[in-house]
A and B are shown apart, each in its own frame.
Chain A
């Protein structure tokens, strides 16, 4: 048992155990336990102020945990200073050295590692090529746009080939198009280099598109850790369901548990069958999360579970059409269908009556 434990922990890039961080009497991290595997693209996702940067700073060595421990490849980091950790950071504020050229910024880490200036410059030049900034090598960081500065920061952190790269919201200053391109680029880069990425963002779409696994954080606590799909489709609580993507959160009462299925009813008495989850008993009042794209409207009921509703509004968003419908004496629901011939057949005029159907297994009961 003992050996198995140490075996698994040495394969992890990062092992955070019961980490607590307090600033005075404010607790920024509350008992965080987290394991990040080698070669993983791991994302910390959460709203502003939830402690993402704090956790990164602890891994990088700028702050120490108040309680608990952080291990890097099985080795306790303790009070190892940041310059002795095989970890590089892309800072939220870039922190490019304003008095050095772009090239010198990128070669700095290599020089500090003892590489000869020529070798450092050569490698830095290749890193700049990688982020497509070769023509700006001799400029000062202040003469670059925000997006270019971010790419310099990325090149600078990648140049010394760290085992672990920490990225603190590195794409936040880019426009949507460039951000989307950089997402693919980053993911590609991570696969190619095999460096473990710990990526911080408060953008759920960014997290879903790039990550192998996501940790959702809120107020210094981990809410859920899992693969992108799992987090999206099987959120474990209301916070996660709400934070990741759009969802319909409905209050339901559980009538009966029948094996793996739970028979419930909504506010207006509308009956529903969904997957049972642990911790839900007969008669419990809990929440049900249903993604808008898993609901569809039809003119006639498709089965006994179809819910009669009236269309309140249709909103055209380009790729999709969102319909807001109201159940008879019940809550409002949001439905989404793609803007395609097939999808448009499921759109009904405002004020029309229709039936709302839920795809099998789409409803997720949330205990809290």
Chain B
């Protein structure tokens, strides 16, 4: 293409790219590497060891972390399950009931939370919970998580749904299936990759959330991110690096899984 300039010939392009990659990934690499440090110092390298991983599970803070992790997983599983169910039904309704006037509006409403600054949502949710006098604790966290997980679950599901087309459902109806059988025997299996992918995304988003959780959690109720934040406020210990690395690993695993699942396409 004659008209298109090659990006690589722009002066400073390579340097800028490297800088961006450095800023993005250097901290993660440092944390990961130092989580295997044998030293109690967070800056001096004294050799390879799993000491801090051991400390996470057995050290003085381990009880706190275990409760927080249990809370986090409980909330993430519940929030992902509920939000994925809602998102699946919403996608079915939005894409299969033909064109209706509020379709664009509905889609906007569903995706809006992705664009609203999280702190705004956090404050608004807190005010709302206060207004309806909802006691703060696991339930309030769960409700807040379900709400912000829905768009994350919705996007891969609706993308998948759009690719399916109405022909399979018509074929099922033609072969005497009821609407319900068509949904469970044809539509759901075809949507499965999108649903799994949406579920994993919702799960990871819930597991990682800090800001909203921190606002709506009650005193004494901690999730993993808020527990880590609490510990860091008292000074960064190497065990924080270990726990962060564990979370990072889990996130990478789930996101990769989600990507792989959404790519596998049974219709091809």
Contact = CB atoms under 8 A, between A and B. Distances in A.
B178 interface: yes
Contact of A108 (B170, B175, B178, B189): B175
A189 interface: no
Interface in A52-100: 60-62, 81-84, 87-89, 91, 93, 95-99
A108 B172 CA distance: 8
Contacts of A330: none
A245 interface: no
A91 B176 contact: no
Contacts, number: 62
Given A83-B178, A112-B181, A142-B267, A97 B171 contact: yes
Given A99-B266, A142-B268, A82 B173 contact: yes
B268 to A, nearest CB: 6
A84 B179 CA distance: 11
Contacts of A109: 175-176
A88 B175 contact: yes
A160 interface: yes
A62 B267 CA distance: 23
Contacts of A96: 171
B174 A98 contact: no
A97 B181 contact: no
A61 B169 CA distance: 13
A113 interface: yes
Contacts of A163: none
The range of chain A's interface size is 20 to 34
Contacts of A151: none
B172 A98 contact: no
Interface in B141-188: 167-168, 170-178, 181, 185-186
A156 interface: yes
Q: Quick one: which of B168, B173, B178, B186 has the most chain A CB within 10 A?
A: B173
Nearest to B265: A98
Given A93-B167, A112-B181, A83 B189 contact: no
A95 B171 contact: yes
A89 B170 CA distance: 10
A93 B166 CA distance: 11
B212 interface: no
A82 B190 CA distance: 21
B266 A98 contact: yes
A156 B167 contact: no
Contacts of B178: 83, 112
A106 to B, nearest CB: 10
Contact of A89 (B174, B185, B267): B174
Contacts of A91: 167, 170-171
A322 B59 CA distance: 96
A99 B191 CA distance: 11
B230 to A, nearest CB: 47
Contacts of B186: 97
B174 A82 contact: yes
Contacts of B267: 98, 142
Contacts of A93: 167
Interface of A: 60-62, 81-84, 87-89, 91, 93, 95-99, 108-109, 112-113, 140, 142, 156-157, 160
* Minimum-distance CB pairs A-B, first 9: A109-B175, A95-B167, A95-B171, A112-B176, A82-B173, A98-B267, A112-B177, A99-B189, A83-B173
Given A83-B176, A98-B168, A160-B176, 18 more contacts: A60-B174, A82-B174, A83-B173, A83-B174, A83-B175, A83-B177, A83-B178, A89-B171, A95-B171, A96-B171, A97-B172, A99-B190, A99-B266, A108-B175, A108-B185, A109-B176, A112-B178, A142-B268
